[in-house]
Structure 1
Amino acid sequence: MQHSMHISRMSLTEDLVSRSFRLEVDPGPEPHRAPLADSEIEALTLRLLAECGQEPLWVFAYGSLIWKPDFAAVEARHGTATGWHRSFCLEMTRWRGSRTQPGLMMALDHGGRCNGVAFRLSDDDRLGQIRRMIRREVGTLDDASSVRWLPIQTKQGRVRALVFWAGPKGDRVLRKLPLDAVASVLARACGHMGSCAEYLYLTVKHLEEWGIRDRNLWQLQKLVASELRAIHGLDMVKIRSSA
């Protein structure tokens, strides 16, 4: 069950997020990044299915899979991935970014600990569920290396869970960016699927509903809210109205 344990109100609001949207056309895949072929998707799907074996199929969600799952879950638990933390470290020029204003996507990077949600998937059509997640989460063969099985600790014991975008590699990875630099990007980037500010807002909001507070993300939503207010002159409106 979901429980909200925190009473602090988010600085980043739906109204502020709505100001981050703009109409963007899908530019399509980047020429130098060949998307996974159907045969490669099938091979990866079959490999992961075989690696799961007869064990329950768990997926660890730490970002959008919490609020936009693409699978049939029959159980959900609070879970912790030790040795990993959330990081906006993946530059993207599509989806929630553009080639003129690249965005940042969240992944798991090494170090620390990450509290999220472990979902146990239905045993029905495991093949189809894994295939759908790969089509959604894995863009290229290089990206497939960031799909891992991680030990996730829950109150009911440890489970082995499938995790996407853990320890990504490649020229798109921008590690150890300061939070104010990340906030500047998230407040401005938007693509044909929405804005980075919306992604952050939905992630923090749903984590709060699960009683999970990520200190970095909580600070980041405050910074992005301040950026959006400054970009749209909202602080000046407050000053003028109080004068």
Structure 2
Amino acid sequence: MDDFWVFGYGSLMWRPGFAHVETRKARLHGYRRSLCVHSHVHRGTPNRPGLVLGLDRGGSCLGLAFRVPGALYDEVIAYLRERELVTRVYLEKRLRVRFLDGGEAVAVAYVVDRTHVQYAGRLNVEDAARRVAGAIGQSGRNEEYVLNTVEHLKALGIRDHWLEAVAARLSRQAAAE
């Protein structure tokens, strides 16, 4: 089997967890990074859900594409499915990405299933910040997840103005308390 690509837009970018031989910045058209998934375990509870990232329809998303040796296909896909498809809120797709330095490829990507009960819909900055604030799950405070994500994106030279606005709102709320 030939090498294949995996597109990361959130924690996969700084913690892929699988072997790869190349990393390139890439843009996925038709989807955007969004806090559109209710978290009932890692960043919230069923009674007080938090929000985590998903790829939702519309716009485009700048992320990282990882080239994986074809010999590792079964191992890496099994790992990604265990990591990303636990509650089936994401759908595994093969989507075309464009590399910022030229060229394109088809990459495995995980997009939100808009029919899933955990889908939060398209939220404005205020609503997203309100849902994130105070939510805590097994992996910690939801605010930390959002602020950490923004810092990682900035360190990679990736700007996400909507997510940065949510983080700024959360920081202002914390300072006011």
TM-score between both structures, scaled by the size of structure 1: 0.68
SS in 1 for 2:30: strand
Q: CA deviation at 1:124?
A: 4.0
Q: Which ranges of structure 2 fall in alignment gaps of 5 or more residues?
A: none
Counterpart of 2:7 in structure 1 is: 60
For residue 164 of structure 1, what is the amino acid of its counterpart? Answer: Y
Q: How far does the alpha carbon of each residue in 1:25-57 deviate from its partner, in whole angstroms, 9 at most, with x for none? A: xxxxxxxxxxxxxxxxxxxxxxxxxxxxx3421
Q: CA deviation at 1:88?
A: 1.0
Q: How far does the alpha carbon of each residue in 1:54-74 deviate from its partner, in whole angstroms, 9 at most, with x for none? A: 342111100011122121121
SS in 2 for 1:130: helix
Q: CA deviation at 1:185?
A: 1.8
Counterpart of 1:91 in structure 2 is: 38
Is the 8 Å Cα contact of residues 143 and 170 (structure 2) preserved in structure 1?
Answer: yes
2:123 counterpart (166, 174, 177): 177
Residues 59 and 166 of structure 1: is their aligned pair in 2 closer, same or farther, counting only changes over 3 Å? farther
Name whichever structure is richer in strand by fraction.
2
Q: CA deviation at 1:167?
A: 4.5
Name whichever structure is richer in helix by fraction.
1
Is the 8 Å Cα contact of residues 35 and 51 (structure 2) preserved in structure 1?
Answer: yes
Paired-residue identity, %: 32
For residue 227 of structure 1, what is the amino acid of its counterpart? Answer: Q
Is 1:148 the equivalent of 2:86? no
Is the 8 Å Cα contact of residues 89 and 104 (structure 1) preserved in structure 2?
Answer: yes
SS in 2 for 1:147: strand
Find the aligned partners of 1:79 and 1:148 in 2 and give their Cα distance: 16
Counterpart of 1:137 in structure 2 is: 84
* Structure ranking higher on relative contact order (CA contacts 8 Å, 6+ apart): 1
SS in 2 for 1:65: helix
Find the aligned partners of 2:113 and 2:134 in 1 and give their Cα distance: 25
Counterpart of 2:62 in structure 1 is: 115
For residue 162 of structure 2, what is the amino acid of its counterpart? Answer: N
Find the aligned partners of 2:72 and 2:2 in 1 and give their Cα distance: 14
SS in 2 for 1:208: helix
Q: Which ranges of structure 1 fall in alignment gaps of 5 or more residues?
A: 1-53, 234-243
For residue 186 of structure 1, what is the amino acid of its counterpart? Answer: V
Equivalent residue runs for 1:75-86 within 5 Å: 75-86=22-33
TM-score between both structures, scaled by the size of structure 2: 0.91
Is 1:224 the equivalent of 2:139? no
Structure possessing the higher radius of gyration over alpha carbons: 1
For residue 127 of structure 1, what is the amino acid of its counterpart? Answer: D
